[in-house]
Amino acid sequence: MAGTEQLLLNILIIVLSILIYFSLGPQYKYKKAVAVLLPGTAMLLCMTFPFNVLGGYKYDLRVIPLLLGILYGGYASGILLSTVMIGYRYYLGGPGFILTLYSFPPVILLAFALLRRFDQMQSKTRYLVGSGLALLWAFICTLISFFGSKGVPVTQENILFYVAFCFLHALAMWMCMYLMETLRENEQMKVEIQRTEKLNALSHLAASIAHEVRNPLTVVRGFMQLLKEKKTDESEQRYIRLMIDELDRAEEIIHNFLTLAKPQNEDVKCFDAAVEVRHVVSVASAYASLRNVEIQLDLGAPLMIKGNPAKFSQVLLNIIKNGIEAMPKGGTLQIIGLQEENSAIIDVIDMGVGMTQQEVNRLGTPFFSSKSEGTGLGLLTSFRIVQMMNGTIKVTSKKGKGTHFSIRIPMAS
């Protein structure tokens, strides 16, 4: 075929743009801008080097970066890319502009309609959706080419070209999505490993220091108690009480640390997470009403998971407490428990101050706290406990809007 070189060039351009995007790493500052720029450039380059021209219609792989940009980049990037593509096709001129005008809108609109659900889909379903969209576009193109006003002649050679054209689009889209999902998974794994390493380093430190500090503290507290009983002076009594309170606070911090340091769950059993959620909510409700926060609880069937119920409660309490504290002016804290595939999911959603992406990335770093009274250990401990239960905690947050903590733990079978 005459345009094989251009076709390969199209594929190379697209693959290269994907590789460049992922080589920037997860922490790259301008990732959002690059996520539009790269598919945009790939699309324009593909359009500049079409692999076949029939009846004035130019054929290239532009729909692939466009669809990738929409499906993975979202509405804003999708609208921008679509506008640029149509604008550039107009600039290139020729009768093919009409083809673009008729064939793209239905596919782009369909992609937008599927966008909301795309994030929750499994990767296999995603491949199907992506390839399906690319195939649909190629098919519409074929129909317009044969039956449109320009009327490409129905010869055996042309039919063969369009069959290959449709097949090629589905295949190329599938391939690109596979590459993207694999690279994305790798990237997430890398972030996860870094986080785990951080936790491990900390737990070793905790194990060695916490224990040593705890013993003298206990001794001091004991003598304080004795002193308190002996002294009758009112103000001295008050001082000693203050000292004991502060010692208890230190003890609590150390307790949190030791939870981190012990990698194994001592008392592992099967239990119903929904029961624990109800229990923790009842414990936290007084604290919530004190801060004008209403807790909305939505639990369905029992959620049997394996682990230490006391530690699981600690995780819930930490996250629920954070949610309440994130709403200084009051509000509603939503807690939802449900089963999804083979996992128990507990969602804790607040309408509070929210966090920027940078702050979300820092969650679970020791002593990261925005509160004057905060220890910055709550989430660190929580991440660790959930990790020990083979689960994950996903955080999505919007500054000024609120935060969504999603705990996912595999069901006990």
CB of 321 to ligand ADP, least distance (A): 7
55, 152 contact by CB (below 8 A): yes
CA separation for the pair 192, 179 (Å, rounded): 20
Nearest to 340 by CA among 297, 387, 305: 305
Instruction: Tell whether residue 284 is a contact of ligand ADP (CB under 6 A).
Output: no
Which x/- pattern, by CB under 5 A, does the window 303-322 give for Mg ion? Answer: -------------------x
CB of 76 to ligand ADP, least distance (A): 25
Which x/- pattern, by CB under 6 A, does the window 293-322 give for ligand ADP? Answer: -------------------------x---x
Enter the DSSP assignment of 26: T
Which x/- pattern, by CB under 6 A, does the window 347-366 give for ligand ADP? Answer: ---x-xxxx-------x---
* Ranges within 367-386 binding Mg ion (CB under 5 A): 378
CA separation for the pair 205, 299 (Å, rounded): 39
Instruction: Tell whether residue 330 is a contact of ligand ADP (CB under 6 A).
Output: no
Handedness of CA 234, 235, 238, 239 (dihedral sign): negative
Instruction: Tell whether residue 3 is a contact of ligand ADP (CB under 6 A).
Output: no
Whichever of 99 and 345 has its CB closer to ligand ADP, that residue is 345
* Total chain residues near ligand ADP (CB under 6 A): 22
**Of the residues 39, 323, 337, 391, which one makes contact with ligand ADP according to CB under 6 A:** 323
Whichever of 333 and 389 has its CB closer to ligand ADP, that residue is 333
CB of 333 to Mg ion, least distance (A): 14
Whichever of 91 and 367 has its CB closer to ligand ADP, that residue is 367
CA separation for the pair 32, 224 (Å, rounded): 57
355 binds, among Mg ion, ligand ADP, none (CB under 5 to 8 A by kind): ligand ADP
Which x/- pattern, by CB under 6 A, does the window 96-135 give for ligand ADP? Answer: ----------------------------------------
CA separation for the pair 128, 221 (Å, rounded): 65
CA separation for the pair 290, 330 (Å, rounded): 9
CB of 373 to Mg ion, least distance (A): 10
Instruction: Tell whether residue 31 is a contact of ligand ADP (CB under 6 A).
Output: no
SS (H, E, C) 127-175: HHHHHHHHHHHHHHHHHHHHHCCCCCCCCHHHHHHHHHHHHHHHHHHHH
**Of the residues 370, 390, 398, 400, which one makes contact with ligand ADP according to CB under 6 A:** 370
Q: Which residues contact 232 (CB under 8 A, 6 or more apart)?
A: none
Instruction: Tell whether residue 323 is a contact of Mg ion (CB under 5 A).
Output: no
CA separation for the pair 324, 147 (Å, rounded): 62
CA separation for the pair 392, 8 (Å, rounded): 41
- Residue 190: other Cβ atoms inside 10 A: 12
Whichever of 361 and 375 has its CB closer to ligand ADP, that residue is 375
390 binds, among Mg ion, ligand ADP, none (CB under 5 to 8 A by kind): none
Instruction: Tell whether residue 378 is a contact of ligand ADP (CB under 6 A).
Output: yes
Instruction: Tell whether residue 369 is a contact of ligand ADP (CB under 6 A).
Output: yes
Q: How many CA atoms lie within 13 A of 157 on its CB side?
A: 6
CB of 339 to ligand ADP, least distance (A): 24
Q: For residue 318, with 0-12 CB atoms within 10 Å meaning exposed, 13-18 middle and 19 or more buried, which class applies?
A: buried
* Residue of minimal Cβ distance to Mg ion: 378
CA separation for the pair 279, 337 (Å, rounded): 13
CA separation for the pair 153, 155 (Å, rounded): 6
Instruction: Tell whether residue 50 is a contact of ligand ADP (CB under 6 A).
Output: no
Q: Which amino acid is at 9?
A: L
Binding positions for Mg ion, rule: CB under 5 A: 322, 378
Binding positions for ligand ADP, rule: CB under 6 A: 318, 322-323, 326, 350, 352-355, 363, 368-371, 374-380, 403
